[in-house]
Structure 1
Amino acid sequence: MLKKYITALEWIPQYDKSHLRGDFSAGLIVAIMLIPQGMAYAMLAGLPPVIGLYAATVPLLIYALFGTSRHLAVGPVAVVSLLVLSGVSTIAEPGTSEYIAYVLLLMLMVGVIQFLMGVLRLGFLVNFLSHAVISAFTSAAAIIIGLSQLKHLIGVKLEADKNVFMILYESVARIQEINPITFGIGISGILILIVMKKYLPKIPAPLVVVGLSIMIVQFLQLNQSGVSIVGHVPEGLPGLSIPAVTIDGLIKLLPVALTISFIGFMESIAMAKAIAAKEKYKVDPNKELIGLGLANVGGSFFSGYPVTGGFSRSAVNYQSGAKTPLASLITAVLILLTLLFFTGFFYYLPNAVLAAIIMVAVYNLIDVKEAKHLFQIRSLDGWTWVITFIGTLAIGVEQGILIGVIFSLLVYLWKSAYPHMAELGFLEEEKVYRNIKRFPEAKVNPKVMIYRIDSDLFFANMTFLEDKLCDKIQDKPDTKWIVLDFSGVNGIDAVSIHALEEMMESCGRGEIGFLFAGVKGPVRDLLNRAHWEEKYGDNYKYLTIEHALRVIEEGDDHGRHDVKGKK
């Protein structure tokens, strides 16, 4: 029973010692990458940098025990950090003890929501976040994140901190106040990160930039020239923290907790599945929710903030030779050692460098190519991207993704309300029935109209179907028979069945016979329950279009028209 949930009970007893070298190497490299990133992302979330290190310890240990991905690197990520800031800063001042208390409660809520979703097998709910919405939201969030760090990069405390347009306006208006030394450090950091990533990808650029900047600031005492530094970073292991659970706090934080739960899981499962496909093993979405949920629940009791699997760190973990979750355990242990013995090293770390690390990290999240690709394939998906992107930038991150989800669902409902229908004709050479608009050479019998419906039928699209057929009947007064090809109908509701009966009466006026071909078993079962066999005999049981047409021909040859109307 325990093995069902604690995946570590499966991989630890069977651990192959030959994997140790790869796991240790990957764990070390990810730790080196995560230490500056964790501090930077905590600053982005409006938290003391050390909380970013706390969030990179206990959650990693817990996920390694319960997660199903062998390569996912869990920890603080940029988008979730921004969501934390945007959600909690509306009810408390960032950096205050009240703010931190709300963040701990938020982490607990995120963990409980994800855990319950996993236990109840609700992982499918994330499918309602379309790829277009996620891509646009991530791209807009990356821009917001980058610009939110502008104040640290230029050394000016900007009043505007959420609206990107106001941030840009205020930055330009206060250009004379820019601290040239701070700006120089930040720009130099960005350039070094970009150059090293391109030409020296195996060397951990963030750690190099952090080390160089600390030495320069300390040696030249630039902190006395207005350069903002991290300052004292508490030494020691993360202390036990009990989230303050209140009804008021739960209500205020619920929207952002749900958003982080979904977005965090989407980012995590996408990367986990991508790597699992390459390595040919299976990732269980519901168990992933349980693993991430418990990681967040555990982290909330050890002074962390919401975590999930990161794209870049997971890729580095995989490329560095990780074979099992032991790599994550090693990462967590190394960060714990850093907290115990090396936090004093970060005293002179300039905030401009942390801002540079964030800016370079999120730049690759901006995916305009995806918008172009979506427009090339289907414009509605492209417009979903654009509306989500603009909504996120102009209104806010939580509201932006909600706008995207609502718009994508409206597009789906619109498409469902106006299903694709095709009048079919016969291609003699190929001996198949095809859409006469795409195959004008297809032959049509003026007395028999064949229509294929390529959608499930439900109350919202029956009016469209009825109007379409009735209009066609008026355009073709010689029509005596209508054959409806139901091979594309996978589902139907009770209202639609009743509407079909009324349509056959109103459109056919008792003079036109309706036959149904290719009705699938589940749909036919519902028609049987509606007593269609008593009402229409075998009219809805024809296996193919040819079968229905043969019955029409035989009826005409013998002067029989009992296939029309009710029996």
Structure 2
Amino acid sequence: MLKRYLPIVTWLPHYQRSLFAYDLIAGLIVMVMVIPQSLAYALLAGLPAVVGLYASILPLLFYAVFGSSRTLAVGPVAILALMTAAALSGIAAPGSAEYIEAALVLALLSGIMLSVMGLLRLGFFANFLSHPVISGFLTASGLLIAASQMAHLLGIDSSGFTLPALIGSLIPHLSEINLPTVAISVATLAFLILLRRHGAALLAKVGMPSKPATLITRAGPVYAVALTTLACWGFDLPTLGVAVVGEIPSGLPPLTLPVFDASLWRQLWVPALLISVVGFVESVSMGQMLAAKRRERISPDQELIGLGASNLAAAFTGGMPVTGGLSRTVINFDAGARTPIAGVVAALGITLITLFFTPLIAFLPIATLAAVITVSILTLVDIDALRHTWRYSRSDFAALLATLALTLLEGVEIGILAGVALSIALFLYRTSRPHSALVGRVPGTEHFRNLARHKVESDARLALLRIDESLYFANARYLEDTLYDLIATRPGIDHVVLICSAVNLIDASALESLKAINSRLKDSRVTLHLAEVKGPVMDRLQYSDLIESLTGRVFLSTYSAWKELTQHERSQTTG
């Protein structure tokens, strides 16, 4: 039980000094990268910049104890920041004391929900979001976040959490564009984009190994922050209207107690649930992908507990909702992190920065942070997914497009709820009309294939019907209709064999349908047989009276049914 709920006891006793060098380097690199990101995402959430630093300290330490991934880096991320801002915008003014208190409650509720889901082993819950729906949601969120940063890039005011609202609030203020801010924005965007696209190649040309070149290139936001902060301080750009982060309080994260206001909790429980689900899906997807590269594994249920503990830590130390971040996790992995000690190193480094170096950030332009967010978040906009999904499945594309459109037009909460609903609806629609095929014997073999696709042997008095789906309440009636239509269109049939090789479940509704089919076919003087029923399904059928009342037999294979029934028909014809 201890190893199950505290993964740290599985690796810490075996930790070797040789691993610390890797973890130390990775932790320091992540620390440098996390600082501008954390500041930017806190501002995106409508919170003071220092909240991002607070949310990057204790949550990392708690994840090291409770998380199952060796390389996942936890902290504020863009999507959760946007969802936080959307959830709190109707409760209080951004940056106010009430707003900060609500953010703590949001982190607390998210932590509680994630932890409870982990204890109840509800990691499968993420499966309710299909990949096209996730892709549509992430693409729309990326566009929304980029649109929300346009005001900071131009040095004007805007508000809103939908695309029409953001654009509508920008237009009246276009005459107020601040040119020095635009200059900083354009220079930072160009620098980050060019460095991302060509930096590693240029460093490789001068003889630098590919891995260090890649890491140096990915540290682009750090260079941008340093250069623009120096420029802003040296040229006294705030006097020209350039917005800066301002004074950030030094010191350790404060111990905070989220308010226990029943009405506030009722307002925030749905946003907290959505934040929990989205954060978990993003985190576990990244964790599983990187773990597979090292032939490791993570536990989705334990990840729920790890992320829950991290959010609880954020709630009690002045933070905001957190999850595993895409860019910082990739950097942590590429930098050679071997264990969560790398996260501990990063947390300790951020603590030192918060204690002693926050005055250096006072002249950091908000436009620089907006550019950092814009460049990093546009990686979520996956145009290829739109094209590939359109070619492969029009129904999946419809779900993707609907999720994307609703997220852009109605907001992230409506978008993710619609995505879950569409995923479930698509599943029910597809499985409610299962593919079925009349099959025949491939001459000279024991194999059976679709009559409509292959040249096979068939018997006019025998129908071999293969059902390619589990049988449950949503498709039980469809199965009845399929069999009744078959009998009506082929009056010469004496035997129907229902091939169950693809049936993994028969629920109570489907069982009643099978009983009705058996009775109806009996009245029509047609014998119903089953073939290739899987062991677990057969075990459940033993608890019913279907097998006893079945007019035919249960055959081990389709070939045995074919052989016996065709021979039986020939013997009766001969007789």
Determine if the TM-score, normalized by the shorter chain, exceeds 0.5.
yes
User: What residue is the counterpart of 2:525 in the other structure?
Assistant: 511
Partner amino acid, structure 2, of 1:445: D
Partner amino acid, structure 2, of 1:73: A
Q: Which of 499, 502, 512 does residue 485 from structure 1 map onto?
A: 499
Q: Secondary structure of 1:529's partner? A: coil
| Cα shift at 1:497 | 2.4
User: How far does the alpha carbon of each residue in 1:259-280 deviate from its partner, in whole angstroms, 9 at most, with x for none?
Assistant: 1111111111111111111112
CA distance in 2, matches of 1:42, 1:499: 56
User: What residue is the counterpart of 1:465 in the other structure?
Assistant: 479
Conservation of the 8 A alpha-carbon contact between 2:446 and 2:559 = no
Partner amino acid, structure 2, of 1:263: V
CA distance in 1, matches of 2:69, 2:512: 49
CA distance in 2, matches of 1:7, 1:485: 45
Say if 2:442 is the partner of 1:443: no
User: How has the CA–CA distance of structure 1 residues 9 and 534 changed in structure 2, closer, same or farther, with 3 Å as cutoff?
Assistant: closer
Partner amino acid, structure 2, of 1:473: I
User: What residue is the counterpart of 1:265 in the other structure?
Assistant: 280
CA distance in 1, matches of 2:3, 2:502: 43
| Cα shift at 1:148 | 0.6
Q: Secondary structure of 2:554's partner? A: coil
- Identity fraction in percent: 38
Moved more, 331-340 or 167-176: 167-176
Aligned residues: 558
User: How far does the alpha carbon of each residue in 1:320-352 deviate from its partner, in whole angstroms, 9 at most, with x for none?
Assistant: 111111111111111111111110001111111
User: What residue is the counterpart of 2:141 in the other structure?
Assistant: 141
CA distance in 2, matches of 1:526, 1:124: 24
CA distance in 1, matches of 2:379, 2:99: 30
User: What residue is the counterpart of 1:329 in the other structure?
Assistant: 344
User: How has the CA–CA distance of structure 1 residues 115 and 450 changed in structure 2, closer, same or farther, with 3 Å as cutoff?
Assistant: same
Conservation of the 8 A alpha-carbon contact between 1:469 and 1:507 = no
User: What residue is the counterpart of 2:202 in the other structure?
Assistant: none
CA distance in 1, matches of 2:61, 2:430: 46
| Cα shift at 1:89 | 1.2
Which consecutive residues of structure 2, in runs of 5 or more, have no partner in the other structure? 200-213
User: How has the CA–CA distance of structure 1 residues 430 and 180 changed in structure 2, closer, same or farther, with 3 Å as cutoff?
Assistant: farther
Partner amino acid, structure 1, of 2:365: P
Conservation of the 8 A alpha-carbon contact between 1:155 and 1:178 = yes
| Cα shift at 1:549 | 3.0
CA distance in 2, matches of 1:426, 1:8: 57
User: What residue is the counterpart of 1:563 in the other structure?
Assistant: none
User: How far does the alpha carbon of each residue in 1:351-388 deviate from its partner, in whole angstroms, 9 at most, with x for none?
Assistant: 11110110011010111211222222222222211111
1:14-413 alignment, distance < 5 Å: 14-158=14-158, 160-200=159-199, 201-203=214-216, 204-413=219-428
Q: Secondary structure of 2:440's partner? A: strand
Say if 2:455 is the partner of 1:474: no
Partner amino acid, structure 1, of 2:480: E
Moved more, 350-359 or 463-472: 463-472
| Cα shift at 1:559 | 4.0
Q: Secondary structure of 1:443's partner? A: coil
Q: Which runs of 4+ in 1 moved over 6 A?
A: none
Partner amino acid, structure 2, of 1:20: F
CA distance in 2, matches of 1:70, 1:92: 38
Moved more, 165-174 or 55-64: 165-174
Conservation of the 8 A alpha-carbon contact between 1:519 and 1:540 = no
CA distance in 2, matches of 1:558, 1:9: 71
User: What residue is the counterpart of 1:11 in the other structure?
Assistant: 11
Q: Secondary structure of 2:215's partner? A: coil
Q: Secondary structure of 1:483's partner? A: strand
Conservation of the 8 A alpha-carbon contact between 2:251 and 2:354 = yes
User: How far does the alpha carbon of each residue in 1:191-236 deviate from its partner, in whole angstroms, 9 at most, with x for none?
Assistant: 1111222333433211111111111111111101111111111111
CA distance in 2, matches of 1:18, 1:529: 59
CA distance in 2, matches of 1:512, 1:132: 44
CA distance in 2, matches of 1:180, 1:74: 36
| Cα shift at 1:109 | 0.9
Say if 2:519 is the partner of 1:520: no
CA distance in 1, matches of 2:89, 2:169: 20
User: What residue is the counterpart of 2:563 in the other structure?
Assistant: 550
TM-score by length of 1: 0.95
| Cα shift at 1:430 | 4.4
Conservation of the 8 A alpha-carbon contact between 2:518 and 2:550 = no
| Cα shift at 1:495 | 2.9
| Cα shift at 1:429 | 4.5
Conservation of the 8 A alpha-carbon contact between 1:7 and 1:66 = yes
User: How has the CA–CA distance of structure 1 residues 26 and 517 changed in structure 2, closer, same or farther, with 3 Å as cutoff?
Assistant: same
CA distance in 2, matches of 1:56, 1:308: 10
Conservation of the 8 A alpha-carbon contact between 1:137 and 1:401 = yes
| Cα shift at 1:146 | 0.8
CA distance in 1, matches of 2:408, 2:93: 22
Moved more, 337-346 or 424-433: 424-433
CA distance in 1, matches of 2:10, 2:567: 66
Say if 2:544 is the partner of 1:530: yes
CA distance in 2, matches of 1:305, 1:172: 31
User: How far does the alpha carbon of each residue in 1:406-456 deviate from its partner, in whole angstroms, 9 at most, with x for none?
Assistant: 0111111111211111011222044421111221x2222112111111111
Q: Secondary structure of 2:186's partner? A: helix
User: How far does the alpha carbon of each residue in 1:157-186 deviate from its partner, in whole angstroms, 9 at most, with x for none?
Assistant: 12x422212322443453222111111111
CA distance in 2, matches of 1:172, 1:424: 64
User: What residue is the counterpart of 2:205 in the other structure?
Assistant: none
Partner amino acid, structure 1, of 2:491: P
| Cα shift at 1:291 | 1.4
Moved more, 419-428 or 453-462: 453-462
Conservation of the 8 A alpha-carbon contact between 2:184 and 2:368 = yes
Conservation of the 8 A alpha-carbon contact between 2:215 and 2:331 = no
Moved more, 249-258 or 366-375: 366-375
User: How far does the alpha carbon of each residue in 1:9-41 deviate from its partner, in whole angstroms, 9 at most, with x for none?
Assistant: 333332221222221111111111100100000
Q: Secondary structure of 2:542's partner? A: helix
Moved more, 524-533 or 513-522: 524-533
CA distance in 1, matches of 2:513, 2:9: 56
TM-score by length of 2: 0.93
Q: Which of 550, 553, 563 does residue 540 from structure 1 map onto?
A: 553
